[in-house]
A = this chain, B = another copy of it.
Amino acid sequence: MTDSMTTRPPGRPRSERAEKAIVDATLELLAEETGVAGVSIEAVATRAGVGKTTIYRRWPNKEALIVGALATAKAPVPPPVGASAREDLLMVARALAAGRRGPHGRCFHSLLGSAEKYPELFARYRQDVIEPRREMMRAALRLGIERGELRPDLDLDVTLAMLIGAFGMPASQEALPPDYPERVVDALLRGIAL
């Protein structure tokens, strides 16, 4: 019953508008520029229409800002509910193909490049953003096994790695052909041995 938990601190409360604008600007720059090094506090402040002080009041330095912004950006992951394992996997594959161009895709490579210098930054990104997506895909594979559509002795981690990797690696630049997701899912399902 004590109101201690709802007690406001004195002074003007921090602006949520400003906070959101800062986070958004950070993510945009992270996606547009060359990795973490390409994000400058001054650019963030300008784009967010915010004073530098307002950023430094919340995060002590650039690294902390980026970590915070990425943690905020974790989108909710939709569950797999297709009619068949192939359907589910195709949905996943199409999402991966689409994501290559979105802000996350851009951020991802930037962060990969910066991972060595800012390890905890990347670790946190993986935990908050990557893992939930992987878990969703894992769920799709498990569902396929339960339905009797996929091998019960399936190597989940490896399958996941191949599925995701097929979209991350091949070039990182040029557009994928529209049937690429199908081709990946089919190759994955059938195998390549005669």
Q: Check: A18 CB closer than 8 A to any chain B CB.
A: no
CB proximity to B under 8 Å, residues A166-184: 166-173, 180, 183-184
Asked whether, in the complex, the Cβ of B166 is within 8 Å of the Cβ of A187, the reply is: no
Residues of B within 8 A of A184 (CB): 158, 161-162
Asked whether, in the complex, the Cβ of B35 is within 8 Å of the Cβ of A117, the reply is: yes
Minimum CB–CB distance for A57 against chain B, Å = 15
Residues of B within 8 A of A114 (CB): 34-35, 37, 113
For residue A34, which residue of chain B has the nearest CB? B117
**This chain: copies in complex:** 4
Residues of B within 8 A of A180 (CB): 158
Bound together, the chains give a CA A35 to CA B123 distance in angstroms of: 17
Residues of B within 8 A of A38 (CB): 37, 117
Bound together, the chains give a CA A36 to CA B51 distance in angstroms of: 25
Asked whether, in the complex, the Cβ of A191 is within 8 Å of the Cβ of B190, the reply is: yes
Which of B115, B119, B155 touches A187 (beta carbons < 8 Å)? B155
Q: Check: A46 CB closer than 8 A to any chain B CB.
A: no
Residues of B within 8 A of A194 (CB): 148-152
For residue A35, which residue of chain B has the nearest CB? B113
Q: Check: A83 CB closer than 8 A to any chain B CB.
A: no
Residues of B within 8 A of A116 (CB): 32-35, 106, 109-110
9 pairs across A/B with beta carbons < 8 Å?
A34-B113, A37-B38, A109-B113, A122-B173, A160-B170, A161-B184, A165-B166, A189-B191, A189-B193
* Interface residues of A, Cβ cutoff 8 Å to B: 32-38, 106, 109-119, 122-123, 126, 141, 148-152, 154-155, 157-173, 180, 183-184, 186-194
